Amino acid sequence: MTTRTCLSVILAAGEGTRMKSALPKVLHPIAGLSMVGHVARAASIAHDDGDQTQISLVVGRGGPEVLQAVNPFCPSADVYEQTERLGTAHAVLAARQAIARGYDDILVVFGDTPLIEADALSRAREVLAAGADVVVMGFRTDRPTGYGRLIEQGGSLLAIREEKDASEAERKIEFCNGGLMALAGEHALELLEAVGNDNAKGEYYMTDVVEIARARGLSTIAIEVDYDNVLGINTRAELAAAERIWQDRRRREMMLSGVTLLAPESVFFSHDTEIGQDTVVEPNVFFGPGVKIAENVLIRAFSHLEGATVATGAQVGPYARLRPGTELGEKAKVGNFCEVKKAVVHPGAKINHLTYVGDAVVGANANLGAGTITCNYDGYNKHLTEIGKGAFIGSNSSLVAPVRVGDNAYVASGSVITEEVPANAVSFGRARQINKENRAPKLRALYRRTSKSG
Ligand code: UD1
Ligand code: MG
């Protein structure tokens, strides 16, 4: 564990016009978390230096929203506005005040490069700790066209040559600039301030820092990271491609941690999905944000879960929907075409077919028959349904909340329950059945006489 202090500057001032969106680009989500949130999370892990962790954001618009997205990973993050978009070096200098506070390491990362891994940032920091002053994250590709090329000599980096300035020989270099950098804090400001804009685009390029540093006798090094780490997102198609890569990474991690995925390519996780060992997930399952699944759970095909906690031995689906606030106890079951929302389902309870349970408490080992509906909403307010332990709710019953069914009570099928059912009672909330003996033939005769179709 390092004791060096670190500031991550996240550049997020790009207009993002190609996203064609009212939402600032870096707030577009991958696995339910904003791109800038992914970057902030990686940075916060790579910092690992206790209370010194600090992130500064450079934004063009949407400052408060972007700050909020980063808040869970760095409550003390601050935001700087880059009013004119004059290049990456200019953008980093928008956070001059923060850099001037004095840090050992400065990481410059991009808010639209969401697949950066903490490990890559940590490696860059280790190279700084070993004495480098500028560390550039490079990647290898057999299709380098368009990227800055990394010109190396004897293990150190001489320069970053942009495509249009590169010679024939330099263009053959397949080691490219990923854009992200780490700078020694003691030199960061002087290097960035020395960058000029005498180039084709008239922009202040952060890449110039390499040659400036060398001219001052400082040490500059490129490290290699996987291409995904520096993949920049500019369009929604690229966003979807990043989502795919992220999901593949997560599926792999899940399986390596002991979760069985029958068809991994058809299971979608959120950034915060937690699943315990020996849980089995069948094909076509979607995990929205806030899901925690314990060990030995069976999630059957075509289920959709968000904001739900599922305890050991429970079974969900096929075709189940668990909405926010669902807590399934041990060995509880929620079967096909059931929806559960904001409900505590105690251990061993069964909700197996075609049922809606919302704003409810279901007691241990209670059994809800097919088609049970908690009528929780009157158009204005939501009300609670309480079902006691061991209670049995007959099929096609409506429980009109607020209402309580006592422990071990029995509700007859087809009931509409509007009043409390005491513990151990049997409750009929339906019209009594009347049988008219031998009436069917007469009814048919009547219908035949009056029928127009003859
Ligand atoms: C950069 C590198 C290039 C590298 C490529 C990898 C420079 C000069 N070039 O080029 O060598 O191969 O990344 O993708 O760095 N930003 C601001 N304010 C600005 C300018 C940029 O906030 O004034 C932000 C952008 O939102 C983006 C990031 O900085 O997140 C990078 O800028 P971008 O314009 O994408 O740089 P590239 O031309 O891709
Ligand atoms: Mg770019």
Percent of the chain with pLDDT over 70: 98
Residue 113 main-chain phi, psi, to 5 deg: -125, 70
CA distance linking residue 328 with residue 318, whole number of Å: 16
Find the 155 Cα to ligand 1 centroid distance in Å. Answer: 25
- DSSP reduced 3-state for 207: helix
- Domain range summary for the chain, segments of one domain joined by +: 6-230, 257-427
Structure-block tokens of residue 55? 């992130």
Neighbours of 357 (CB within 10 A): 26
Structure-block tokens of residue 412? 């007859």
Residue minimizing CA distance to atom 37 of ligand 1: 179
CATH number for the domain formed by residue range(s) 6-230: 3.90.550.10
Note the ligand closest to the C-alpha atom of 205.
1
Find the 154 Cα to ligand 2 centroid distance in Å. Answer: 28
For the chain, what is the mean pLDDT? 96
pLDDT in the model for residue 357: 98
Find the 14 Cα to ligand 1 centroid distance in Å. Answer: 8
Residue minimizing CA distance to atom 19 of ligand 1: 87
Which residues are within 5 Å of ligand 2 (an ion), measured at CB? Answer: 232
Asked whether the predicted pLDDT for residue 265 surpasses 90, the reply is yes
DSSP state of 409: -
- Of 168, 160, 277, the closest CA to residue 220 belongs to 160
Angle at 224 between CA 218 and CA 241, to 5 degrees: 130
Asked whether the predicted pLDDT for residue 51 surpasses 60, the reply is no
pLDDT in the model for residue 163: 87
Note the ligand closest to the C-alpha atom of 16.
1
pLDDT in the model for residue 164: 83
Least confident window among 107-121, 123-137, 197-211: 197-211
Q: Are strands 403-405 and 373-375 parallel, antiparallel or unpaired?
A: unpaired
Q: Is the CB of 88 under 6 A from ligand 1?
A: yes
> Given pLDDT bands bounded at 50, 70 and 90, which one contains residue 187?
very high
Residue 298 main-chain phi, psi, to 5 deg: -115, 115
Q: Is the CB of 46 under 6 A from ligand 1?
A: no
Among the ranges 11-20, 50-59, 198-207, 365-374, which has the highest mean pLDDT value? 365-374
Instruction: Judge whether 47 counts as a catalytic residue.
Output: no
Radius of gyration of the chain from its Cα atoms, rounded to whole angstroms: 30
Query: Which tens digit of pLDDT belongs to each residue from 61-97?
Result: 899 999 999 999 999 999 999 999 999 999 999 999 9
CA distance linking residue 9 with residue 401, whole number of Å: 52
> Given pLDDT bands bounded at 50, 70 and 90, which one contains residue 49?
low
pLDDT in the model for residue 50: 58
CA distance linking residue 290 with residue 312, whole number of Å: 17
Residue 233 main-chain phi, psi, to 5 deg: -110, 125
Q: Are strands 326-328 and 426-427 parallel, antiparallel or unpaired?
A: unpaired
Longest CA–CA span in the chain (Å) reads 108
Structure-block tokens of residue 53? 């962790």
Q: Which residues contact 198 (CB under 8 A, 6 or more apart)?
A: none
Helical spans, DSSP H, in 201-327: 209-215, 236-256
Residue minimizing CA distance to atom 35 of ligand 1: 232
Q: Which residues of 220-251 are buried (b: 16+ CB within 10 A; e: fewer)?
A: bbbbebeebbbbbbeeeeebeebbebbbeebb
CATH number for the domain formed by residue range(s) 257-427: 2.160.10.10
